[in-house]
Structure 1
Amino acid sequence: MHPLSDARTPVRSRLRTRPRTGPRTLWAGAVTAAALVAALVPGTAGAQAAANPYERGPAPSVSSIEAARGSYAVSQTSVSSLGVTGFGGGTVYYPTSTADGTFGAVVISPGFTATQSSISWLGPRLASQGFVVFTIDTNSTLDQPDSRGRQLLAALDYLTERSSVRTRIDATRLGVMGHSMGGGGTLEAAKSRPSLQAAIPLTGWNTDKSWPELRTPTLVIGADGDTVAPVATHSEPFYTSLPSSLDKAYLELNGATHFTPNSSNTTIAKYSISWLKRFIDDDTRYEQFLCPLPRPSVTIEEYRGNCPHS
């Protein structure tokens, strides 16, 4: 266990550092008003039970978030690099049915010298849980984190403004993920666009170790056996530098390497799904998998975070 592993953040309530805007603010206000009316007027308790309009899929369970596929059938479409600017094309995975309305969206970047194939397993796995997912190629396999951050944002803009699935997406509910150099790019993207709802760097690499300016709920995932981006000099400093008032978590995988995110991994999937659902969809049904903090196990070396989430 690493030197910082016993410094878990104590459980306490947090306030998100950025305000909700747009449709979600209206929804939150409506729920608050309904609760007030229910408290003051007899016979109006039903008004208090207004459902979160962003929830997608059935009530989750441990087995559902660990499953190789969720409840949604998934389709996919290829995006040629010749038809886009700012990034290198990729593959979009999305729920086939439109019966549930729009979905949140996530763009995922590969690592140094890698292509989208290295993180393609995340596409259908996350999409089947109720997201539009875009695994991208970068302009160069040698791109650095700042470039990858810009490309993640360019891909989000393409996805929501020009893609063939844009009508399936709620452009107010977006997140970014990335492996290695793409993980460093994930932090860069969140820094540049604080309106993002979630960020998940996977064994991230970046020369910048300090991120106090981030306002996006961030789950940092590191690996105890990482020799390319050791957690002591990358994932741990990333996490500890995030504002204490931010919804944040640090998951260190046990018995893992820098390249663990390149293969299907149940632990990465279950906590990524829970984080994306909790913060992109505001789906508090997934809070149970994040709080109380998961304990060390065969697959978890350490988990830190602040609970309950705001």
Structure 2
Amino acid sequence: MHTVVQQPSSELPTAAPAPAGSRPSRVKSRLVRSGLAAFLAVGALVAGQATGAQAAGTEAAANPYERGPAPTESSIEASRGPYAVSETSVSSLSVTGFGGGTIYYPTSTSDGTFGAIAISPGYTAYQSSIAWLGPRLASQGFVVFTIDTNTTLDQPASRGDQLLAALDYLTSRSTVRTRIDSSRLGVMGHSMGGGGTLEAAKDRPSLQAAIPLTGWNLDKTWSEIKTPTLIFGADGDTIAPVASHSEPFYTSLPSSLDKAYLELNGATHFTPNSSNTTIAKYSISWLKRFIDNDTRYEQFLCPLPRPSLSIEEYRGNCPHTS
């Protein structure tokens, strides 16, 4: 509906001519002035409403990827977000390039398409080890694919290729492909799957977000990466100690990149294998900010989180405004 703002007429109301020899009526003059003021005030009010509506529409149109209500601390720490979630299994026999898995997705289609994330397990592990992330992230407004790898012994480079193959399957062949915005994709992974996350981001710069979870990789330098990357380490990790894995991964990323390093306090290499509020909270914020371009989530990333009972250390930069 268009709001029509009527312009004041150039022929403004005037008082009737006074009879010859009489004094102009002050009452009529006041009525004229009052009527004109009211007319102009109504015009200004209508114009203001139209301008406000236009501004609100412009603001909404500025980010067509925004999904879900405005976030709060409690909403991103909750075990489930605002979307009901469905899931579907994908057999390894029906795909190529990876080992199948489970797709979790928002049941409703009323909000349009969603960004998508593929998640890899670690060495010797199956998708069950990272399954908790599926419904937790999907309920916040993402399509999430927790995958099995071709073999449980696959190395990081292979896992990176498999994450990309899973995203390609999601967007081109899966039963939920029409629910996905294929330009807004991300990757996550645990341990060697975390190392694979870095490999995938290096190989496909168009990815919008990457999150290695206590990642392991013999390659320590990642200056080629152009994807916003959040690295999780664990202070008690003896399999991929932060000093020789997560920290050098982080410091090797370009200084101009949107990047962060969160070291979990009182955690081990296997902390990402079970439900964890800190991992979920900051993963959701990162994915929302960079896959959905949703600046409403910047409040959880900037100012940088301080050390706490769950955070040993946090390094990074505030998200760049594009």
Quick one: distance in 1 between partners of 2:75 and 2:320?
A: 22
After superposition, what is the alpha-carbon deviation per residue over 1:271-303, rounded to whole angstroms, capped at 9, x for unaligned? 000000000000000000000000000000000
SS of the aligned residue for 1:91 comes to strand
SS of the aligned residue for 2:189 comes to strand
2:265 corresponds in structure 1 to 254
In structure 1, which of residues 69, 77, 84 is the aligned counterpart of residue 80 of structure 2?
Answer: 69
TM-score, length-scaled by structure 2: 0.82
Note the 1:8-157 alignment, pairs <5 A. Answer: 44=51, 46-49=53-56, 50-51=59-60, 52-157=63-168
Task: State the Cα distance separating 1:47 from its structure 2 match.
Answer: 3.8
SS of the aligned residue for 1:219 comes to strand
Unaligned 5+ segments in structure 1 are 1-41
After superposition, what is the alpha-carbon deviation per residue over 1:174-214, rounded to whole angstroms, capped at 9, x for unaligned? 00000000000000000000000000000000000000010
Cα-Cα RMSD: 1.2
2:5 corresponds in structure 1 to none
What is the one-letter code of the residue matched to 2:272?
P
Aligned residue-pair number: 270
After superposition, what is the alpha-carbon deviation per residue over 1:95-151, rounded to whole angstroms, capped at 9, x for unaligned? 000010000000000000000000000000000000000000000000000000000
In structure 2, which of residues 305, 313, 316 is the aligned counterpart of residue 305 of structure 1?
Answer: 316
What is the one-letter code of the residue matched to 1:288?
Q
Quick one: distance in 2 between partners of 1:230 and 1:215?
A: 25
Task: State the Cα distance separating 1:307 from its structure 2 match.
Answer: 1.5
In structure 2, which of residues 230, 243, 247 is the aligned counterpart of residue 232 of structure 1?
Answer: 243
Task: State the Cα distance separating 1:259 from its structure 2 match.
Answer: 0.1
1:192 corresponds in structure 2 to 203
2:183 corresponds in structure 1 to 172
Unaligned 5+ segments in structure 2 are 1-47
Q: What stretches of structure 1 move > 2 A for 4+ residues in a row?
A: 42-50
Quick one: distance in 1 between partners of 2:160 and 2:308?
A: 33
In structure 1, which of residues 231, 235, 241 is the aligned counterpart of residue 252 of structure 2?
Answer: 241
Task: State the Cα distance separating 1:309 from its structure 2 match.
Answer: 2.7
Quick one: distance in 2 between partners of 1:165 and 1:45?
A: 38
- Point out which structure has higher relative CO (alpha carbons under 8 A, 6+ apart): 1
What is the one-letter code of the residue matched to 1:113?
T
SS of the aligned residue for 2:105 comes to strand
SS of the aligned residue for 2:160 comes to helix
Alignment identity in percent? 85
TM-score, length-scaled by structure 1: 0.85
Give the greater-gyration-radius structure (CA): 2
After superposition, what is the alpha-carbon deviation per residue over 1:20-63, rounded to whole angstroms, capped at 9, x for unaligned? xxxxxxxxxxxxxxxxxxxxxx9746444321211111100000
